[in-house]
Amino acid sequence: MVYHPFLAHTETFYLVDGEGYLRGLYNGTLPLEVERLLEDARMLLSEKTSS
């Protein structure tokens, strides 16, 4: 394994759209937050396909 001193891992997930805009922040250690991330990602994908 390679150690990189400037790389940090957190429990936060970021949802970013195709334009590079931040659409949400989610705590990946909480099941309800992960479910909300999945729902928001599905909604974002459906917005992309409907336009």
pLDDT at residue 35, as a whole number: 98
Cα distance between residue 21 and residue 19, in whole Å: 6
pLDDT at residue 48, as a whole number: 76
| pLDDT by residue, tens only, the chain of 51 residues | 666 677 677 899 999 999 999 999 999 999 999 999 999 999 999 987 876
pLDDT at residue 5, as a whole number: 73
Residues 6+ apart with CB under 8 A from 1: none
Burial status of residue 36 (CB atoms within 10 A of its CB: 0-12, 13-18, 19 or more): middle
Strand 12-16 with 22-27, pairing: antiparallel
Residue whose entry in the numeric block shows the structure tokens 């999945």: 38
pLDDT at residue 21, as a whole number: 96
